[in-house]
Amino acid sequence: MNNSQGPIARKNGLVVQEVPDEVLVYDLETNKAHCLNQSAAMIWRSCDGKNSVSEIAKLVEEQAGGKVTEDFVWLAIDQLSENNLLEQQIAANFAGQSRREVIKKIGLASMVAIPVIASLVAPQSALAAQSCNCNNPGQCNTPPNAQCLSTTNCNGVGICAP
């Protein structure tokens, strides 16, 4: 991608909830929950396909009231892309620097909080996620039941445990 093409925020298959200073996104396809801090959320909302990276930087700068570089925007786009929150995967353009180097550079220079996306995968099955009850050992060997005391034994009283 170059600066004349704008990233597009994904909308389908997502449930979005605004919370104070953050945005929660639940991906129905992957059962992944994301928490976007204010900077990441502002950038995500600006990804309408029309705004280029430099334009997004300006928009965020106006909203956040502090200097925002293109690296700053790329840092968010990199995470948005990695978490499948954009219509198309986009490789970050860090001009030869690593993500860590960019974070360090931005962190020192920026008054605006670095864009951060925290993510967590939720088990698909509610039953398996919260119960170690079983009728046969096969039920203990399914991935979500790996949290139980045993993944191979359904004991005499029906618990995945010794």
Partner 1 sequence: MSENGLISHTALGFEFILESYGVRVGIKASSRELLNKAEQTATKALLGKLEIIDFAEVDHSFSIFEDPAGTIFLDLNGERITNDSVEQRFFRFFDSFLRITIAEHARGRVFIHAGVVGWRDKAVVIPANSFRGKTTVVAELVRNGAEYYSDEYAILDSDGLVHAFPRDLTMRYFDGEVRERAVAPQSVGGKIGSKPIPIGMVLLTEYAENAVWNPQKLTVGQGIIEMIPHTIPRRFNTEFSLKVLNRAVSDAIILKSPRGEAADFAIEILNFFDNYLNLARIT
Sign of the CA dihedral running 72, 78, 80, 85: positive
Cα distance between residue 48 and residue 45, in whole Å: 7
Query: Scanning residues 25 to 44, which ones bind partner 1 (CB under 8 A)?
Result: 26, 28, 31, 33-37
Is there binding between residue 114 and partner 1 (CB under 8 A)? no
Q: Which of 22, 55, 82, 87 binds partner 1 (CB under 8 A)?
A: 22
Q: Which of 95, 108, 111, 157 binds partner 1 (CB under 8 A)?
A: 157
Is there binding between residue 118 and partner 1 (CB under 8 A)? yes
Is there binding between residue 161 and partner 1 (CB under 8 A)? yes
In 3D space, the residue among 147, 51, 7, 83 whose CA is nearest the CA of residue 60 turns out to be 51
SS3 103: helix
Is there binding between residue 148 and partner 1 (CB under 8 A)? yes
Cα distance between residue 127 and residue 145, in whole Å: 9
Q: What is the largest CA-CA distance in the chain?
A: 65
The one-letter amino acid code at 43 reads I
Is there binding between residue 149 and partner 1 (CB under 8 A)? yes
Is residue 120 exposed (0-12), middle (13-18) or buried (19+ Cβ within 10 Å)? exposed
Is there binding between residue 162 and partner 1 (CB under 8 A)? yes
Is there binding between residue 158 and partner 1 (CB under 8 A)? yes
Is there binding between residue 152 and partner 1 (CB under 8 A)? no
Q: Which of 3, 54, 130, 152 binds partner 1 (CB under 8 A)?
A: 130
Residues binding partner 1 (CB under 8 A)? 15, 17, 19-24, 26, 28, 31, 33-37, 118-124, 126-127, 129-136, 139, 147-149, 155-159, 161-162
